[in-house]
Amino acid sequence: MIIVYFVIGVFFASIISYSAVREAYRNRKIETDVESLQQEAKRIQNENDNLSKTIAFLETPQYQEKTAKQKLNMQKPDENVIVVKPGMEQPKIVTSPENNEKKFLPEIPNYVKWLNFFFKYN
């Protein structure tokens, strides 16, 4: 008779421990889901903050003025616009293959550079 009680006790203990392990696994899974959702909520909140900052910047008069100047070619009534072309190229180094000496191209005088800057449209 003791053996029957022992077997029944082991059976109930195994059922209870199995249920406890299942519940612990379920709780752990719920906790990881909650953590991942909290991280996603933080990420979305950061994106919302960035977007609201971007929207606030886009609504500023400085941005609107800059956009009007760049895209619409507009200017203020009392403003003078100067178009600046890219600078001239730097002197190139020429290497001769037979003696491996580096030679600089002749230096252009400053007055020629200024004349080219204002009057040359290449």
Q: How many residues does the chain have?
A: 122
pLDDT given at position 41 = 96
Quote the CA–CA distance of 74 and 57 in Å, as a whole number: 20
Quote the CA–CA distance of 85 and 92 in Å, as a whole number: 20
Global pTM value: 0.46
Domain span at residue 93? 2-119
Neighbours of 75 (CB within 10 A): 12
| pLDDT per position as a tens digit, 91-120 | 555 555 555 555 656 788 888 888 888 887
pLDDT given at position 98 = 59
pLDDT given at position 15 = 94
| pLDDT per position as a tens digit, 24-81 | 999 999 999 999 999 999 999 999 999 999 999 999 988 988 888 888 877 778 877 7
- Per the structure, how many domains does the chain have? 1
pLDDT given at position 113 = 85
CA distances from 55 to 66, 70, 84, 85, 99 (A): 15, 19, 31, 33, 62
Host H or E run for residue 94: strand 93-95
- Higher per-residue pLDDT: 96 or 89: 89
